[in-house]
Amino acid sequence: HVLMASYPYNPPENRYNFYPHSLRNMDELCASIVRAHRETSQYRVEELQVLRWKLFSREEIQAYQIKSVDEMWQHCALRLTDAVQYVVEFAKHIPGFRMLTQNDQIALLKTGSMEVVLVRMSRFFNTENNTVFFDGKFARADLFKSLACGDLITAVFDFAHDMCALKLSEHQLALFSALVLINTDRPCLEDRGKVQRVQRTVELGLRYILQRDNQESLMHKLYQKMAVLRSLCSLHMEKLRWFSQRYPLTVHSLFPPLYKELFA
Ligand code: CLR
């Protein structure tokens, strides 16, 4: 298990083995999730703001577009795996996550890490020109043409656009990401009860900060987004199955082991 290897099981600090009865604990819980998000988010919002108008040139776009299908897939799989690794780091720092059985931690990451990457994509998205930060510059959907899965790319870009429209704060985004990850609806959970306790805590945390921000109506919209995420991820898996049927050797020998372990 690559995920296990990159993932030494440290006995948890028991500090957070609580069900937050007091607001003080609630503040602490939210603060640690926000910190975990900040420390694993690759770029700060201000840094991305500066890069916002750094677009690929026509020649650079073309260079991506004439790549072969398998070359471009391999390239994107690398970028995605990178992003997933940060999400794994994020997960490890969500209070309560390390208290789950190792099997359940892996089960949650298997289904949830890609969803969190897509939630995070909204931070890397410029809605004014519908571009995403990729390989150091901002790219429109047509740059990904050579992947030959236009419907997935369109759906992913639409989702990022819709997420941006919610204008979530970094705190809200952090708590929402944690809730996407800690989800009892995932298959193959061993100790659903334990996952449920952590899930309820994170959900309370999200409700708590939405209330504090006077934006309780967001909760309903965020649950709708969770449903969209699910369909995007099954579309991603469908595309991956299609790709690995056509290029089994590329997947076998050139895809990052973590990507294969999580999705293939
Ligand atoms: C998401 C937020 C992360 C940084 C990051 C890295 C890679 C990006 C990803 C973000 C968004 C989605 C992305 C991806 C690389 C390729 C992928 C642009 C910005 C597109 C949608 C192609 C998917 C192709 C698969 C079918 C292989 O913190």
ipTM for this prediction:
0.97
Condensed to tens digits (0 to 9), the pLDDT of residues 169-181 reads 999 999 999 999 9
Q: Of ligand 1's atoms, which has the minimum distance to the CA of residue 156?
A: 21
The alpha carbon of 264 and the centre of ligand 1 are apart by a number of angstroms equal to 17
What is the C-alpha to C-alpha distance for residues 159 and 232, in angstroms, rounded to an integer? 9
* Alpha-helical runs (H) found in 15-100: 23-39, 45-51, 58-65, 69-92
**Taken in order 141, 143, 149, 150, is the CA torsion positive or negative?**
positive
Q: Of ligand 1's atoms, which has the minimum distance to the CA of residue 240?
A: 26
Residue of 249, 248, 98 lying closest to 181 (CA atoms): 98
The finding on whether 79 has its CB within 6 A of some atom of ligand 1 is yes
Q: What is the arithmetic mean of pLDDT over 184-203? A: 94
Res 225 pLDDT > 50: yes
The finding on whether 156 has its CB within 6 A of some atom of ligand 1 is yes
Q: What is the arithmetic mean of pLDDT over 198-211? A: 96
Half-sphere exposure of 203 (CA within 13 A, CB side): 14
Q: What is the pTM of this model?
A: 0.93
User: Which of 41, 131, 132 for mutating ligand 1's site (highest number of atoms within 8 Å of CB)?
Assistant: 132
The finding on whether 247 has its CB within 6 A of some atom of ligand 1 is no
